[in-house]
Amino acid sequence: MRQRELPAWVGVVPFAAYTLVFLGVPVVAVVLGAFVDPATGGVTMANVGIATSGVYLRGFGSSIGLSLVTALVPGVLGLVLALAVRASPSLRLKRAVATASGVFANFGGVPLAFLFVATLGSTGLVVELVKAVGVDLYGAGFSLYSFWGVAIVYGYFQIPLMVLVITPALDGLRPHWREAADNLGATPVQYWRHVGLPVLAPAVLGCMLLLFGSAFSAYATTSALTSGSLALTPIQIGSFLNGNVLSGQENVGRALGVGMIVVVAVLMALYALLQRRVSRWLR
């Protein structure tokens, strides 16, 4: 007997329900709460005003700056690494890098913070080693607990993440394009400038957006590393979740959340514009 087939959309129901409950409802709650005065229950712009000034504004600046730096630099480094591995004939190397990237891209929080404290902390192994040969990193102004220190730590998971997500796109580069360019007299630099990178650009942009999101929302590693000394928006939101909040400012955390949504939305819009431009040839 022929079984009755369920409509295709039924398969989406569990995920849609999950998303609605754990993404849709919280977003609505955060957005609404951001404009509510907890004392009176009335509508107010005070929360948004606080969230976009002073230490919170600096928090947004640092978060956006750190996310851009750790999307662009590890993005480029990850792309170069992925290209180098792809060019290698060694399958063993390819497998090893893929496995290692999978592990490192998901490594974070307290263990990662400890790893860097032990190596690049004020008395870390690497710091002491280079000091022994006459280079005083901390004396020169470096600090693991500063913006650039945290950026280095982020590279630990951002570079492998880039390798993971860009590798499938590299498989789309046909060997014949390189051979044709060679045959037509192009140097490797000319090939990459005129063909390789433009072809990869849409994928690279998408991957860098992912890296930005990964860095922008990172919390545990920075929290464990800086104990809040570096003003970053997720950590500031975390302090509201922990109850470290002044009376009457309970909803500022929600306003910060809205701010993060706006930042990502603006970035997505820019990404869409750029994507249209670099992928003209796909349409």
Partner 1 sequence: MTTTDTGREYGTRTDPASGTRTGVAVALRDLNRRFGEVRALDGFSLDLAPGELVTLLGPSGCGKTTALRALAGLEDVDSGTVVVGGRDLRGVPVRQRDMGMVFQSYSLFPNLTARDNVAFGLRVRGQDKAARRRRADELLELVELAGRGDRYPHQLSGGQQQRVALARALAPEPQVLLLDEPLSALDAKVRVALREQIRAVQTRLGTTTLFVTHDQEEALSISDRVGVMRDGRLEQIASPAELYARPATAFVAEFVGTMNHLPGTTTADGVEVLGRRLPATTDRPAGAEVDVLLRPEALVVTPDPRGSGVVVATTFLGAVTRVHVRLGETQRSGARPGQGETQRSGARPGQGETQRSGARPGQGETTVLVDRPSSAVADLAPGAGVTVEPAPDAQPLVA
The footprint of partner 1 (CB under 8 A) covers 174, 176-177, 179-187, 190, 194-195, 198-199, 281-282
Which residues does residue 36 pair with via DSSP β-bridges, in sequence order?
43
Q: CB 181 → partner 1: shortest distance, Å?
A: 7
Cβ contacts of residue 81 below 8 Å, gap of 6+?
97, 159, 162, 163
By beta-carbon proximity to partner 1, the closer residue of 77 and 195 is: 195
Please, which residue, 87 or 184, has the CB nearer to partner 1? 184
CB-count exposure of residue 242 (10 Å: 0-12, 13-18, 19+): exposed
**Within the chain, how many helices (H) and strands (E) appear?**
14, 0
Q: List, in sequence order, every beta strand (DSSP E) within the chain.
A: none
CB of 197 to partner 1, least distance (A): 9
Q: Give dist(CA 105, CA 62) in Å, integer.
A: 22
The CB-of-178 to partner 1 minimum distance in angstroms stands at: 10
- Give 117 or 173: the residue with its C-beta nearer to partner 1: 173
Angle, vertex CA 202, rays to CA 196 and CA 205, nearest 5: 110
Q: Which is nearer to partner 1, 166 or 181 (CB)?
A: 181
Q: Of 147 and 192, which CB lies nearer to partner 1 in the complex structure?
A: 192
d(CA 207, CA 278): 14
Q: What minimum distance in Å lies between the beta carbon of 205 and partner 1?
A: 14
| Cα–Cα distance for residue pair 199/22, rounded to 1 Å | 37
What is the smallest separation between the CB atom of 282 and partner 1, expressed in angstroms?
8
